[in-house]
Structure 1
């Protein structure tokens, strides 16, 4: 099938996925997940395990990881005065103790409404209703806000995961550090500390960016035409040492390989047409789909993405639409595990 790049349809990115292939629990150990490698030039596919990633990397390559850490951002509480149950999902930190939150049921969260969480450890007042029905809420508490979240909050697992997660750390990468995401940068979940040490020992640079993943990651594309879709915005930071390492890698002919679409979007948001990178911080709503010319990226480690999602569009831009759709067909045939807790793909 040949894509009409000026008239891309969301339905072009649909594929059939049996529900039983949606991974419900993380695999142990982390690096024993399967790995499908895809040559973006030829479309050639091989099947490995994630610990074999070391054989696919070369001395002089640079691996870019997102060190964002997921907030246990789902809170269950009651409305003061009525005792009605309510659920809050923290989306973005605005200022001070004010957060943008998603509330359910929304009718219980009118401006001025007050709520109690964790038997009073955390209290909130809705200040106003903003875009898409989200709320601004001010929290009050004693002590450290994030420590309280660790006590009473739950991981905001995607809607397609229905199993209970016994260990919150399994929805964090082993290198997560900067708290702020509403969802995990899941491509990094496959790495263990030992595997990262082996990668470094091979002469591969390992560097970090921070992009705080928003729930817009899971928002379906409702527009029929891809170009009509409005991307969500996410905050990123790319430090100077990462910029220097990437620029040196490019000068020396090495490959820059992003771990996850979040790292990819950060690099491509900052990169110039010449492929140079600088220290940078800000918000990005970059939308990558077939026809996009990559400025920095040479390869990508990623999971398998939802049909008709912006993320399958991104990987189609990197590896070619037909190569990606064929790889997904084969992954379904071979019964790979899909989505956040699923298996991985290396596009190189």
Structure 2
């Protein structure tokens, strides 16, 4: 599907599928009969039941995880908000495509397909301190690219990103959506010093002062975000229409997802937080979204890396739920 306007995309949120209640109930009943004390697998039990409900299968499999990395360039880099130049975005895309990045290794570990979608890297977004980051047409095109990148045959989705300067866009977007001060949301990103973090907060404040987008999540995305953020928003929404569970990655991915949460409560019910990153705004944003992370490893790489690691957690939950014997099947006396 291709969206011509932001209103076209927003209309897709009007009727979103819910988890299959019968599949959830049957999965819960199966969990109660597995050869273990009740609750002995802790959160893995809840994960398996959640996954079963979204897939509509009381005894599901998880065989086709998908990782999609979206890349975009940001005009706001001209404000000195990154320790790296924008050329690195193109160079890292080439690294992804040749299999040399961390995300390539992690996707391979868990049997995930990996694709990279580069979004007009030769045409950065506008510096959002001077103008809206994207025109409506550009933002709608990026949402469309994300929507189209999701494999309908996937059974779990991770979306990641690459874009020098995008922690600044994510901080501005989170601040616009959730409120608070810019200093609440900015972090070191690719390795800024204290002066760089302070400068970043001033840049975010300047963008928020220029664009009055409170309570207008898609306008906030257009004016303060980036193409890769919009593409992640589109992909997460598409996964919901297909009832494909999603693992959210770090701060940038979660900021993109928050657009959907603010546009329609419950729009992220099919999403779990794969991890909590070292970016200080990430934990705050996850708390606002009501998402408890599966992992906390101090990661701040992006690329979908933390969520990719969490694929193994969900695979383990599903394998135990669907593969374990019940007490009756194993001939073991129950409690």
TM-score bracket for this pair, using the shorter chain length: 0.3 to 0.5
Normalized per residue, which structure has more strand? 1
Normalized per residue, which structure has more helix? 2
When normalised by structure 1's length, the TM-score is 0.32
